[in-house]
Amino acid sequence: MDADSRRVVHEAARRRTFAIISHPDAGKTTLTEKLLLYAGAVGEAGSVTARKGRRAATSDWMEVERRRGISVTSTVLRFEYADVVFNLLDTPGHKDFSEDTLRVLAAVDSAVILIDAARGVEPQTEQLFQVARARGIPLMAFVNKYDRPGMEPLEIVDHLTEQLELPLAPLTWPVGAPGEFRGVINRRDGSFHEFTRVTGGSGIALEHIVTDRGPEDDPAWATAQEELELIDATDSAFDADAYGRGELIPLLFGSAAWNFGVGLLLDAVRELAPPAQPRALEDGTPRAVESPFAALVFKVQANMDPRHRDRVAFVRICSGRFERGMRVTNARTGRTLALSFAHEVFGQDRSSLDEAFPGDVVGVVIGGDVRVGDTLHLGADVRFPAIPTLTPESFATVSNRDVSRHKQFRRGLEQLDQEGVVHVLRREHTQDPVPVLAGVGPMQFEVAVERLRTEFGAEVSLQMLEWKAARRTDADGAAKVLADSGHTDVFVRADGTQVAVFPNRFVLDRFAQRNPTVRLERLIGADDPV
């Protein structure tokens, strides 16, 4: 191995690329801000000190996110801590934006599941956990809001084990009932971290750590010891190999709002989460990190900075060394392109980046035909597996209300389709020119409408359609669907995929029973089990 390859391997070992996934209101964005705080990437929660001075930077940077108080798009936050380079991807929590989270899961090496101590695993995001589990992505769970009333710790362990269908290995254990939080026992070294509150939650909590035992004559401490004896009897010790295979979930407790347990979580990710490793190609062959440059485009976002109105492709580097200005090939089109404008990404903020290594996420200002799921590479042809797509459950026609803005309307729809904000469908078997939007939920349409208005100057109207279930099909299947009844229809995506739609699952199931040989596939990536 030459010196350049050794450097790539060394730098890849320093990377931790992970996502935070949860249901809405579990505190995901708060936890993201606090991880940045503890890593020293921000001076106080919600702010960042950049090279050219202090400026606001939160992971929720879109206007619709700030107005509604929810995340609707994933955000990349790159920072360093204790000689480790973190690429943290904050994902949307709402079910309607689950596709964005799926794309993020294709780009990370591990994930942190954030659990509300009172609500546990919500059904609306359970599918994302199952996708991560099925792919063998190492998962770490953080039980948040333990300072409020909620489930008892043993109840939480039972609930998570049942819902996530994987054994748990508690790394920390709470002392005190939910809402009467005293602190946590660090099972890795036996120390007790006393719970303290920080006024406003904007600074790092000053933890009182006891290395021998907990408070004398404290019933809460005695209860915690009894619970730990039960946990120890269930063979819940941490196994690094099982965690790395995605077969064991380390568990931690804390309160992101009060900055408690955040430092322990950050250290656990740094010490236990896997670094960048060889990634499987489309044919299943693992590609070594020191191989020539190859990267996966998992997100395309336009107009992050309205002053420039550019398109940024977020690429996960999978092998080799990235150099700004390098010319690479898009495996899908066979065309070459120069990666001249590359950035280190921190929320909405960007700074120029000259080089990067496997595990890094780079924002590349790019034009031309670059889409989500594309593989960019040097040398011989390289293709990473397709990024999955969830089955649409909501459909609506979209009409331009200003004929003088027709070009902007069409360009905006094409852009949003390429980004994966919504799927834009059309009917080929009729003369109906009105495009149809498809998505997991109607909030995707709200984002699309706002972006069409603010970024492209196109005022549009929507009309919701009756379809609630969809399946991918072929030409023969499309003909049978169209001939079946007036309750079904067929649309075509921009990539030529034919989509059969049904008013509900009952009609879909009846059609499938009557036509057992018709191709009806969930609209997901190849070999994905969900």
Say which range, 177-186, 448-457, 484-493, has the weakest mean pLDDT. 484-493
Mean predicted confidence (pLDDT) in 281-299: 95
Tell me how long the chain is. 530
The pLDDT score that the predictor gives to residue 223 is 92
Give 343 or 63, the one with higher predicted confidence.
Answer: 343
Query: pLDDT, tens digit, for every residue of 10-42?
Result: 999 999 999 998 877 778 888 988 898 888 876
- Please give the Cα distance from 191 to 405 (Å, whole number): 65
Mean predicted confidence (pLDDT) in 453-474: 91
Query: Would you say 103 and 12 are in contact if contact means Cβ atoms under 8 Å apart?
Result: no
The pLDDT score that the predictor gives to residue 74 is 64
Query: pLDDT, tens digit, for every residue of 330-341?
Result: 999 999 999 988
Give 149 or 351, the one with higher predicted confidence.
Answer: 149
Residues contributing to the annotated binding site: 22-29, 90-94, 144-147
Residues contributing to the annotated binding site for GTP: 22-29, 90-94, 144-147
The pLDDT score that the predictor gives to residue 125 is 63
Nearest to 454, CA basis, from 483, 415, 486: 415
Query: pLDDT, tens digit, for every residue of 426-458?
Result: 987 766 678 999 988 888 898 899 989 988 899
Mean predicted confidence (pLDDT) in 195-223: 71
- For residue 50, CA distances in Å to 73, 82, 464 come to 23, 19, 44
Strand partners, 462: 398
| Residue-averaged pLDDT of the chain | 84
Strand partners, 502: 469
Say which range, 476-480, 486-490, 524-528, has the weakest mean pLDDT. 524-528
Give 57 or 389, the one with higher predicted confidence.
Answer: 389
What's CA 226's distance to the chain center, in Å? 37
Q: Is the pLDDT of residue 201 over 90?
A: no
The pLDDT score that the predictor gives to residue 270 is 97
Query: Would you say 277 and 294 are in contact if contact means Cβ atoms under 8 Å apart?
Result: no
Mean predicted confidence (pLDDT) in 292-321: 84
The pLDDT score that the predictor gives to residue 503 is 92
The pTM for the full model equals: 0.83
Query: Would you say 276 and 163 are in contact if contact means Cβ atoms under 8 Å apart?
Result: no
Q: Is the pLDDT of residue 529 over 50?
A: no
The DSSP bridge pattern shows strands 336-338 and 327-330 to be antiparallel
Query: Would you say 101 and 132 are in contact if contact means Cβ atoms under 8 Å apart?
Result: no
- Please report the domains of the chain, with CATH numbers, ordered by start residue: 3-277 (3.40.50.300), 280-377 (2.40.30.10), 394-514 (3.30.70.3280)
The pLDDT score that the predictor gives to residue 218 is 78
Q: Which distant-in-sequence residues (6+ apart) come within 8 Å of 63 by Cβ?
A: 450, 454
Q: Rank 7-11, 350-354, 383-387 by mean pLDDT and report only the highest.
A: 7-11
DSSP string, 132-168: HHHTT--EEEEEE-TTSS---HHHHHHHHHHHH-S-E
Mean predicted confidence (pLDDT) in 95-117: 85
Mean predicted confidence (pLDDT) in 127-146: 85
Share of the chain above pLDDT 90, in %: 48
Query: pLDDT, tens digit, for every residue of 212-233?
Result: 665 566 788 889 999 999 998 8
Q: Is the pLDDT of residue 165 over 90?
A: no
Q: What are phi and psi of 245, to 5 degrees?
A: -85, 0
